[in-house]
């Protein structure tokens, strides 16, 4: 992560991707509009693994097809970043939404991230209260969701290892990584996740808003 005079998504993170199914170009178009509203110009589309078109390996029969597809999509994002030699990768899902003041607030938030970070959530939801480390940064203890987060190269191998033979869907696997690695979150959230039908999850999901009260509601 390289900080410029005025940090932006474009100049802070080496690689930026948005996971999107080939059969949902409308969602990619919507995300491009959201990115443009925040002056984010360099996010690339990553073709999602479609649960309708793949078979879950017998060794992973504990996973639903949609869980497998989602996990393999996030795994592909990190594998591609490693292959490209990228120092980090920012991963968006295609139903993310931004705080209206995201572009203005991002420089202040990103400047507070500790140098020992391995994963950074731009928006997240906590099962267990996180640990405050700066005015706008908390350290994850038991933190969920994967709609807008950054994986650093020092975490690539561990991320790939757990998601190549996943015990669960990728955001649950992140809970395991949080026990060993330094995973931080913006506080308050600057990116949420829209409600509605999730293509990757193949079910209707509730909105994950920018602000919420603990405990996390059922269904998240």
User: Each residue of 73-104: pLDDT tens digit?
Assistant: 999 999 999 999 999 999 999 999 999 999 99
What is the pLDDT, as a whole number, of residue 51? 87
What is the pLDDT, as a whole number, of residue 219? 53
The pair of three-digit structure tokens given for residue 182, joined into one six-digit string:
């330094």
What is the pLDDT, as a whole number, of residue 5? 78
Asked if the structure places residue 2 within a domain, the reply is no
Q: Is the pLDDT of residue 214 over 70?
A: no
Q: How far is CA 78 from CA 9, 18, 50, 55, in A?
A: 18, 12, 18, 21
- Compute the distance between CA of residue 123 and CA of residue 132 in angstroms, rounded to an integer: 15
Asked if the structure places residue 210 within a domain, the reply is no
- 200 pLDDT tier (thresholds 50, 70, 90): low
Report, as an integer, the average pLDDT of 1-30: 91
Contacts of 110 by beta carbon, 8 Å cutoff, 6+ apart: 1, 3, 7, 12
- Considering only CA atoms, which of 19, 124, 29, 15 is closest in space to residue 69? 19
Asked if the structure places residue 212 within a domain, the reply is no
Answer with the residue of higher pLDDT: 195 or 94: 94
Percent of the chain with pLDDT over 70: 87
Q: Is the pLDDT of residue 177 over 60?
A: yes
Give the count of domains, the chain.
Answer: 1
Neighbours of 219 (CB within 10 A): 8
Asked if the structure places residue 115 within a domain, the reply is yes
- Compute the distance between CA of residue 204 and CA of residue 190 in angstroms, rounded to an integer: 23
- 13 pLDDT tier (thresholds 50, 70, 90): very high
* Structural domain range at position 19: 9-205
Q: How far is CA 187 from CA 15, 24, 26, 106, 135, in A?
A: 23, 31, 30, 11, 8
Where residue 14 sits, what CATH number does that domain have?
3.90.550
What is the pLDDT, as a whole number, of residue 196? 64
């Amino acid at each position: 992560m390289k900080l410029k005079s005025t940090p932006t998504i474009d100049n802070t993170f080496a690689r930026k991707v948005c996971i999107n199914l080939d059969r949902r170009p409308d969602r990619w178009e919507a995300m491009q509009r959201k990115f443009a509203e925040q002056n984010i110009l360099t996010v690339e589309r990553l073709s999602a693994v479609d649960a309708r078109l793949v078979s879950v390996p017998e060794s992973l029969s504990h996973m639903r097809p949609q869980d497998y597809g989602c996990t393999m999509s996030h795994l592909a994002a990190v594998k591609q970043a490693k292959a490209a030699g990228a120092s980090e990768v920012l991963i968006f899902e295609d139903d993310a939404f931004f705080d209206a003041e995201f572009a203005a607030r991002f420089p202040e938030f990103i400047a507070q991230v500790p140098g020992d970070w391995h994963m950074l959530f731009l928006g997240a939801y906590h099962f267990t209260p996180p640990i405050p480390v700066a005015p706008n940064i908390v350290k994850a203890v038991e933190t969920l969701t994967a709609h807008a987060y950054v994986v650093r190269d020092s975490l690539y191998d561990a991320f790939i290892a757990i998601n190549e033979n996943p015990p669960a869907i990728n955001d649950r696997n992140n809970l395991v990584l949080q026990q060993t690695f330094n995973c931080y979150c913006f506080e308050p959230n600057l990116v949420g996740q829209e409600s509605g039908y999730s293509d990757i999850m193949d079910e209707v999901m509730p909105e994950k808003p920018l602000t919420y009260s603990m405990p996390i509601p059922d269904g998240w």
